Amino acid sequence: MHKMVFLMQHRIKEILQSSISVKALVLADDNLIKNIAAATDLIIQTFQNKGKVLFCGNGGSAADAQHLAAEFSGRFYYDRDPLDAEALHVNTSYLTAVANDYSYDEVYSRLVKAKGSQGDVLVAFSTSGNSPNILKAMETAASVGMKTIAFTGETGGKMKVLSDILLNVPSMDTPRIQESHITIGHIICELVEAKLFPR
């Protein structure tokens, strides 16, 4: 029993070190840091111009999308006015109806077409960069005049060429990518809140 606990403790440290190592790669990637700043500036301009920010993702990335939308529409560090941000998967009746009647590939693109306008932003999450429903959402966003920010893994996948701003975490390991996505997302939320609601 003690040996098993010891082995688990060793593995826990390895996993934590792996997460730290990916974040260190993010920190050392000047182009990625520049793109995070560009994404922050785009979102600031969008909110200043009374636009909205829509989020989409699948699985853990859907959770990240919902998490960050809530940071904007609720609050991050302190009380202030709400910002118009929404995760597109939260209506399960809509999601299951469109997946059933059309295709799961259409679930986000139809909502982007309904809700998105020129001057809005779509923030799209996919660790592979290749999720078909996310790609369709980005294509639809571009067609209605929205800007797109893609949170992906190292290669960027097919989202690389569809995004206005690519935030590609330098890793191929899905959990480590998602951990860095939420870190980057929190950085953006903090900077946007501080700019729009200075204390």
* pLDDT digit string (tens) for the chain, length 199 residues: 588 888 999 999 999 999 999 999 999 999 999 999 999 999 999 999 999 999 999 999 999 999 999 999 999 999 999 999 999 999 999 999 999 999 999 999 999 999 999 999 999 999 999 999 999 999 999 999 999 999 999 999 999 999 999 999 999 999 999 999 999 999 999 999 999 999 9
CA distances from 7 to 10, 137, 155 (A): 5, 44, 33
Task: Determine the angle formed by the axes of helices 92-101 and 107-115, rounding to 10 degrees.
Answer: 120
CA atoms within 13 A on the CB side of 90: 13
Which pLDDT does position 71 carry in this prediction? 98
Which pLDDT does position 37 carry in this prediction? 98
Which pLDDT does position 3 carry in this prediction? 84
- Rounded to two decimals, what is the model's pTM? 0.96
Which pLDDT does position 6 carry in this prediction? 81
Which pLDDT does position 104 carry in this prediction? 97
Distance CA 125, CA 123 (A): 7
